[in-house]
Amino acid sequence: MLSAVRLISEAAELAARRHNGMARKGRGNEPYINHLAEVANLLARATDGADAELVAAGWLHDVIEDTETTHEELARKFSDRIASLVVECTDDMNLPKAERRRRQVVDAPKKSTSARLIKIADKISNVGARIHSDPTSDERGDLADYTDWAEQVVAGCRGGNAWLDTTFDEMVRTARASL
């Protein structure tokens, strides 16, 4: 087993390499790795750094969904737990967006506690990325739509970490105030 620092560092490196050149949707064309760093940092803060595998999975939570990376590769390089958490957080990209969203809402309460924490951290980051100081009409619509849906997903994820729950609620309040 890798040390906690090495585990997180290697997860960050793999995430950066696999998402190289990818950008977040939206106005800023922000490097996608910033989202992964934010999710991992939220998880580290929520657990006070006590769960290195969770933080590593935060770095990697989109790697199967967005790249050619496999469960087997993650299990071999990191651990079965990390690989399983990433799989739990992976949408079936062969499904239409509306169905993927529906499944996230329905499946959220069925996920492991750790996967639910990753989902909340992911939604905090994604809502925050949609908040703009002078939003266009389209940006306001996207923020309202995403925030409404994120609240439905997070409703099924709550209870595993009070700090993440509160941080999500604060982000939603900020989002609603910017509309």
- Active-site positions read 65-66
CB proximity list for 125: less than 8 A, separation 6 or greater: 35, 38, 39, 42
134: alpha, beta or left? (left if phi > 0; alpha if psi -120 to 50): beta
Query: CA 34, CA 146: separation in Å to the nearest integer?
Result: 19
Q: How far is CA 112 from CA 9, 138, 153, in A?
A: 24, 35, 14
Query: CA 25, CA 99: separation in Å to the nearest integer?
Result: 20
Q: Is the distance from CB of 8 to CB of 55 less than 8 angstroms?
A: yes
Report DSSP letters for 149-176, one per residue. HHHHHHHTTTTS-HHHHHHHHHHHHHHH
Give the angle 98-92-123 at the CA atoms, nearest 5°.
Answer: 65
Identify the helix (H) or strand (E) that includes residue 10. helix 4-18
